[in-house]
Amino acid sequence: MQKGIIKKIDYIKGFGFILTEDEDEVFFNFRDVHPKFKNKVFKEGETVGFDLKREMKGDRAINLRQV
């Protein structure tokens, strides 16, 4: 599990970006939130844990969860 801080969220479009501990920006989609945290409201500046999935378009955060 990696950790990072939510940098930006677009609630209407259902996605956001996380700033990792290595200062990289990673995309996430609300459909990739861990099932245990589906009803959680994530906020900008909040520390989160996630797994990284490598895709052709770039890395994506999956299994997003509250730390």
User: Can you list the domains of the chain with their CATH numbers?
Assistant: 2-66 (2.40.50.140)
Torsion of CA 18, 12, 37, 23, to 10 degrees: 0
Instruction: Give the mean model confidence (pLDDT) for residues 45-64.
Output: 94
Instruction: For residue 28, name the pLDDT band (cuts at 50, 70, 90).
Output: very high
Mean residue pLDDT of the chain comes to 94
Instruction: For residue 39, name the pLDDT band (cuts at 50, 70, 90).
Output: confident
Whole-number pLDDT of residue 29: 94
> The tokens of 58 are what?
């770039």
Instruction: Give the mean model confidence (pLDDT) for residues 27-45.
Output: 92
Are 56 and 27 spatial neighbours (Cβ–Cβ below 8 Å)? Answer: no
Instruction: Give the mean model confidence (pLDDT) for residues 9-31.
Output: 94
